[in-house]
Structure 1
Amino acid sequence: MNFFVLTTTVLCAALLVASSLALIIWNYRRAPGAFVMLGLAAPVILWLIGSTGELWARTLDTKVFWANFQYFGIVTVPVAYFMVALSVSKPEFRLSLRHWLSLLLIPFVSLLVLWTNPWHGWFRSSVQIHEIGSMSVLTATLGPYFWVHTLYSYFFIIGGIVLLMRHALLNRQRRPLQFVLMALSALVPFAANLLYLLLDNNVLPVDPTPISILFSTLLIAFVIVKLNFFDVIRGAAQTFVDNMEDIMLVLDDELRILTASRSAEQFFDISLAELRGQKVAQVVPEIQPYLTETDVSLGVECPLRLCHENQALDMELRITPVQSSMSDHPKGCLITLRDLSSVMLAEQRLRLAMQASRQGLWDFDMEAGSIYYSPEWKRLLGYKNHELANNPGLASKLTPPDQWRRLSSSVEQAAEAGAQWVETEFKMRHRDGHLVNILARTLLIRNAEGKLIRQVGTHMVMPGSSDIESI
């Protein structure tokens, strides 16, 4: 087998693999992360098509056409390679459409200069065919703009290598296989392109860069699929709300931390880069039993006593499974920790505010048939909290019949009129037997169909009442 046949076979095989990879990615195009992978596979295919066409062409004009055609892929690959590296190493980072277009401005200018080259020679000052055995290879004297294109391309290629190598180094102890694969995916394209630029055409007549980038793409795709990296992070990212006070951690199926909220970084005093890849038991050991001894797929919600900086904190723990877009089985979970001390403080403030304003709160869920009376509400009528049960018939028992009809009629009229609020004055019976003047403010809550489903309101002893001083 001569070198021409061997080279053609390798290029066609690479083209088949690249096309298959692009087709697989396209089938999962709705999966998070698929867009950037497809953005790298597509220009590699164009590059390989152009390389194959140039190899088979026999005339100078045909070879120049296919050499130019390759640049639809060549000018795009560096930016796409950088974006894949950015997505792997910093999955929380997002680029707007405006940023994408600005990154592709120089590649667009490069294509414009290339295809108009016969009029100015800025890209190639001359071209000729060089015979190497059974192969004819296009050689060129490069113009000044070629080096502008080259510098711009290498800026993104080296940037992608730095990102991938940094990501690999951060995970070398926790994920040794990923370290090796990511290091290879970063170094192979750079080494292949460097060899092509340094070696003579007689030694390496065909650019191996597109094949090496295809190899790199396959390695990255393998790492992503094996670790479910994009799928878990992006699925959980829909749940994130910037600047939430809750501590939030995203775990993979091996209970490693993939990403975390800013509040988690602040609470644990650890950077996101240091948190990533750690087992959650190393950061929050109190959570481990809930992850290993319960069915996480059903979700978990419970109180948790957390020891932090020699202090015991009461927290609310929520474990929510994160589904994979390619599978019905959870591929990770979202951990949420809420500091209940702040919730308790808010409840205390509300309770003190109600006491200071001499008001009692009540909440009637009409669909469930349940009602809540605050301790302050019961105190208005001279009762302690434990002396009155929260049942829907309590208020009517403590109100004279004519007064109850007056209150009910007022609420019914407001409801029929579509009002949101209603305010009524009526009398209730105090524990000591006398009547107390009450000002009732009621909020009427409806569902989407307009049906009244809930009433929430306050009762306040009217100013001037003899009971107001003793409350």
Structure 2
Amino acid sequence: MTFTPYDILLVLAAVTALALAILAWHRKLNRGATSFALLMLAVALWCSGHIMEMSAADLSGKIFWADIQFIAIVSIPVFWIAFILPYTGQTARLPLNRAVCLSIVPAVSLVMAWTNNLHGFFFSNSEIITKNNFSFLIRTFNTGFWIHSFYSYLLLLIGTILLIRTILRTSNPYRGRSVLLLAGALTPWACNALYIFRIEPFAYFDLTPFGFTLSGLLFGLGIFQFHFLDIVPIAYDTVFHNMNEGLILLDPGSRIINLNPAARKILDVKTSEAIGAQVTEVFSRWPDLLEGYRGHNMNYDFEFKKNNSGLIYNVAVSHLYMKKILRGYLITMRDITAHKKSETELRKSEEMFKALSENASDIIYTLDADGSFSYVNPAWKKILGYSRQETLGMYFIEFTRKEDSERSVQIFRELIKDRRVFTDTIIKLQHKDGSIRVFTGSASPNIDAAGKIIGITGSLKDLTDQQKLATELQQAHKMEAVGTLASAIVHDFNNIFMAIQGNISLIRKRIDQEEYAYQKIRNIEQSVDKGTELTRQLLSFVLGSQYVVTPTNLNDIVRRTSNMFSSGSKQIKIYKHYQNNLWLVDLDPVQVGKVLMNIYKNAAEAMDGKGELYVGTKNITLGTHFVKPFRAVSGKYVEISIRDTGCGMSEEIKQKIFEPFFTTREPGKGSGLGLSFARAVA
């Protein structure tokens, strides 16, 4: 086996093809890279087989290696078309069923070539010819070979035509690299033609492997220098021409290289007029557009008036760099008319919302998606006392009672997660002064254009005064019922008690004080006194008390009543605090004294007759907001505070303490009218 300089060149070609195959294989995720790798691998096999053929000394050895080469020869056209189709955008990759169909003729050709000695359909008259110290295998090509050649050339021709069509696209900025591919595609054609048609001086040298190797080098330049498998030209062409935005491609000198149909429509220019012209010339018809570009604004808006209609476009100018060298500019013109219109409508809607909410008597608020306040209208401060600065950024539950916080969190979760809408929901919030305000609330989630919940909008209607009015009305109805009952029986009871009292007094005068009956009669008298007092209280409800109002110092009444109560309740210690220079109050001293005594008695009962009682007076000034629920006028007031060390009352009892005949004492130990009377007097 002898190697010649020609063989060495073949070895270099094989190594080059193999290296290109390996490099392309590493880029197999890109379109066409796998087919290109297989194409170069086939070329390497062809070169290697040709080396062995040229080195073989006998006819059988040359025929064997020639048949080995045929594996590559029949495969290369299929791999070529599989590479070109994705590159030119005909398909993402060659489907398997089509690849099988394309491989039928090559597979049959390979079998026929390997079994040629049985039928001679491919070759005949095989012989070795020696020329210029080279020995060549010469065979006569028969019908089968020409069928194979026709099919192979057909695939190569289809791929070449697709490449030419890509090059002829005037909008394609990748034309230079496509020309490299075309040159690579035509080289094997020329080399194979020299071999088949025995053209001197290469009549017997099969230069086709060298041609495909040269093709591979040109393709490799495109792959590794220009990355044409990373940016598919047809993909660029499709995207560039089909984008709705206007695109204008400029060179570094601001001359127009290309513009897509959308840009031509916006600027109302023809391609022939725009290509090669300075962009400032094309923009000169629209001063605002030109001024923005000359001002080196990278992003600006301008209004384009055409056919009595105004369109607004956003213009973005991008620099195009390659290896840190400025290669040109890309101008993008996007129609934002609808967006601007939406912005205007949204602004008007927000202004209308603000105008309505700022003047609304009910509270209107918005929360962010995390539950913090992003807006409250003036009614929030008016009703709850918190300013906007104190409220914004705070969480809704920070204004609720502790016992209501869990329910508030549950409502918030249902609003955000379930997108539920709440209406007429009772909510209790704390006023800045610590009092509780009752509201009926409505809330719904805020949803943006993308369908995402960005917050909550809600309203609160204050029901506190309304509820207090309803409670007072209910109390009035109860008092009316008591009055109806009392009016029917109070006078009869009073007459009966007077008759009993008179007769008992006469009997008591005739009985010795030491007798047993005397003490029992005294008990009867005390019971009659209690009954008389009860009828007097009932009579006050029915007829109303006659008040004698005089300017009075409440310190005097508190001092007198507390001393009177203290003398009969030795186990209760009373602590007193009197305001100096206490303001005078117009009141009935007798009625107020009765009220205080009733309250002292209730306190004693709550402490089981033993404990501490704190009584005090104080000058206070009440504002309009505080007195509004009580339908009183603002101004100067005198406060009486009474506090005991008893066990306290539950919420349920607090709701009933002013109801007539309601008592927590055992039957027969309380009338249930004490606090009702106190409230009526107050």
Structure-2 change in CA distance of 1:278 and 1:71 (3 Å): farther
Structure-2 change in CA distance of 1:393 and 1:50 (3 Å): closer
Q: Deviations over 1:13-72 (max 9, x none)?
A: 212222233333345555665334323311111111111121112333332222122122
Structure-2 change in CA distance of 1:259 and 1:171 (3 Å): closer
Counterparts of 2:254 and 2:3 in 1: how far apart (Å)? 51
Q: Structure 2: which 5+ residue stretches go unaligned?
A: 284-288, 368-372, 386-395, 428-438, 462-682
Tell me if the contact between 1:303 and 1:314 (Cα under 8 Å) persists in the aligned partners. Answer: no
Q: Structure 1: which 5+ residue stretches go unaligned?
A: 295-299, 361-373, 429-435, 446-452, 463-471
TM-score (norm 2): 0.46
Counterparts of 2:135 and 2:148 in 1: how far apart (Å)? 26
Partner of 1:413: 410
Tell me if the contact between 2:366 and 2:458 (Cα under 8 Å) persists in the aligned partners. Answer: no
SS at 2:140 equivalent: strand
Partner of 2:4: 5
Partner of 1:139: 138
Partner of 1:17: 16
Partner of 1:367: none
Displacement of 1:396 in angstroms is: 6.6
Residue 339 of structure 2 is aligned to residue 343 of structure 1: yes
Q: How does 1:309-348 map to 2 (within 5 A)?
A: 313-317=311-315, 337-345=333-341
Residue 63 of structure 2 is aligned to residue 64 of structure 1: yes
Counterparts of 1:173 and 1:245 in 2: how far apart (Å)? 18
Of structures 1 and 2, the one with the larger relative CO (CA 8 A, separation 6+) is: 1
Partner of 1:378: 354
Tell me if the contact between 2:197 and 2:203 (Cα under 8 Å) persists in the aligned partners. Answer: no
Q: Deviations over 1:161-220 (max 9, x none)?
A: 333444455579989976874553343222221121111699522311121121122123
Counterparts of 1:46 and 1:343 in 2: how far apart (Å)? 61
The aligned amino acid for 2:410 is Q
SS at 2:20 equivalent: helix
Displacement of 1:79 in angstroms is: 3.2
Displacement of 1:331 in angstroms is: 9.6
Counterparts of 1:50 and 1:280 in 2: how far apart (Å)? 57
Partner of 1:215: 214
SS at 1:199 equivalent: coil
Structure-2 change in CA distance of 1:345 and 1:227 (3 Å): same
Partner of 2:47: 48
The aligned amino acid for 1:305 is F
Partner of 2:482: none
Counterparts of 1:250 and 1:106 in 2: how far apart (Å)? 46
Tell me if the contact between 2:240 and 2:247 (Cα under 8 Å) persists in the aligned partners. Answer: no
Q: CA RMSD in A?
A: 5.7
Counterparts of 2:36 and 2:219 in 1: how far apart (Å)? 9
Q: Deviations over 1:284-339 (max 9, x none)?
A: 97699989969xxxxx7x34438697987433356789999xx9999999875431
Structure-2 change in CA distance of 1:455 and 1:342 (3 Å): closer
Displacement of 1:154 in angstroms is: 0.8
Structure-2 change in CA distance of 1:303 and 1:174 (3 Å): closer
Structure-2 change in CA distance of 1:382 and 1:444 (3 Å): closer
Tell me if the contact between 1:247 and 1:337 (Cα under 8 Å) persists in the aligned partners. Answer: yes
Residue 361 of structure 2 is aligned to residue 394 of structure 1: no
Structure-2 change in CA distance of 1:187 and 1:96 (3 Å): closer
Counterparts of 2:257 and 2:326 in 1: how far apart (Å)? 15
Displacement of 1:139 in angstroms is: 2.6
Partner of 1:431: none
TM-score (norm 1): 0.63
Tell me if the contact between 2:280 and 2:290 (Cα under 8 Å) persists in the aligned partners. Answer: no
Displacement of 1:340 in angstroms is: 0.4
Tell me if the contact between 2:424 and 2:440 (Cα under 8 Å) persists in the aligned partners. Answer: yes
Structure exhibiting the larger radius of gyration computed from Cα positions = 2
Identical amino acids, percent of aligned pairs: 24
SS at 1:421 equivalent: coil
SS at 2:139 equivalent: strand
SS at 1:442 equivalent: strand
Tell me if the contact between 2:366 and 2:376 (Cα under 8 Å) persists in the aligned partners. Answer: no
Q: How does 1:165-204 map to 2 (within 5 A)?
A: 165-168=164-167, 181=180, 184-199=183-198, 203-204=202-203
Q: How does 1:243-254 map to 2 (within 5 A)?
A: 245-246=244-245
Counterparts of 1:133 and 1:152 in 2: how far apart (Å)? 34
Tell me if the contact between 1:305 and 1:312 (Cα under 8 Å) persists in the aligned partners. Answer: no
Counterparts of 2:295 and 2:52 in 1: how far apart (Å)? 57
Counterparts of 1:304 and 1:421 in 2: how far apart (Å)? 37
Structure-2 change in CA distance of 1:409 and 1:183 (3 Å): same
Displacement of 1:424 in angstroms is: 1.6
* 2:93 alignment partner, one of 92, 95, 103: 95
Q: Deviations over 1:355-376 (max 9, x none)?
A: 9xxxx7xxxxxxxxxxxxx334
Tell me if the contact between 1:188 and 1:216 (Cα under 8 Å) persists in the aligned partners. Answer: yes
The aligned amino acid for 1:339 is D
SS at 2:420 equivalent: strand
Displacement of 1:414 in angstroms is: 4.0
Counterparts of 1:62 and 1:254 in 2: how far apart (Å)? 64
Counterparts of 1:48 and 1:383 in 2: how far apart (Å)? 90
Residue 400 of structure 2 is aligned to residue 424 of structure 1: no
Structure-2 change in CA distance of 1:33 and 1:180 (3 Å): closer
Tell me if the contact between 2:33 and 2:83 (Cα under 8 Å) persists in the aligned partners. Answer: no
Partner of 2:516: none
Partner of 1:37: 36
Partner of 1:466: none
Counterparts of 1:180 and 1:188 in 2: how far apart (Å)? 12
Structure-2 change in CA distance of 1:87 and 1:459 (3 Å): same
Partner of 2:665: none
SS at 1:315 equivalent: strand
